[in-house]
Amino acid sequence: MSRHAGLHAWMLQRLSALSVATYSIYLLLHFVRQAPADYQAWQTWVATPAVGISAALFFLALLLHAWVGLRDILMDYVRSLALRLSLTALLLLGLVACGLWALRILWQAGYA
């Protein structure tokens, strides 16, 4: 086994955390400075391509972050191989379902 085996997962975890944090701060600052006055203003803002692309990248980073973190927890703390594989498969299924749900939301908004 390479002595850098965990470096890839560590880097993905850190980069995805940075991406999620950056987008969250952007949203917070945007809504503090310029909250939409009504639903129509919200729809207009959400319909811009930059918001759609940013939201898609946010969901991708969030799902990746969850996968790496929870997979590492399962690998470290679940000793039974059968249980670990079952839980990992359930985790993957759940994250794919969340990703498809996010894709559906973006599709309905006209992004995907």
pLDDT in tens for each of the 112 residues of the chain?
567 778 999 999 999 999 999 999 999 999 999 988 888 888 788 878 888 899 999 999 999 999 999 999 999 999 999 999 999 999 999 999 999 999 998 888 776 5
pTM over 0.75: yes
Cα four-point dihedral sign 26, 28, 31, 34:
negative
**Cα angle value 49/55/61 (rounded, 5°):** 140
Please indicate, yes or no, if residue 2 is contained in any of the structural domains: no
Please indicate, yes or no, if residue 44 is contained in any of the structural domains: yes
Please indicate, yes or no, if residue 29 is contained in any of the structural domains: yes
Structural domain harbouring 33: 7-108
Comparing CA positions, the residue from 52, 93, 70 lying closest to residue 9 is: 70
What's CA 33's distance to the chain center, in Å?
25
DSSP state of 34: S
Look up the CATH number of the domain holding residue 65. 1.20.1300.10
For residue 36, give the H/E element and its range.
Answer: none
Please indicate, yes or no, if residue 17 is contained in any of the structural domains: yes
Please indicate, yes or no, if residue 1 is contained in any of the structural domains: no
Please indicate, yes or no, if residue 104 is contained in any of the structural domains: yes
Helix and strand numbers (H, E) in the chain are 4, 0
Number of domains, the chain: 1
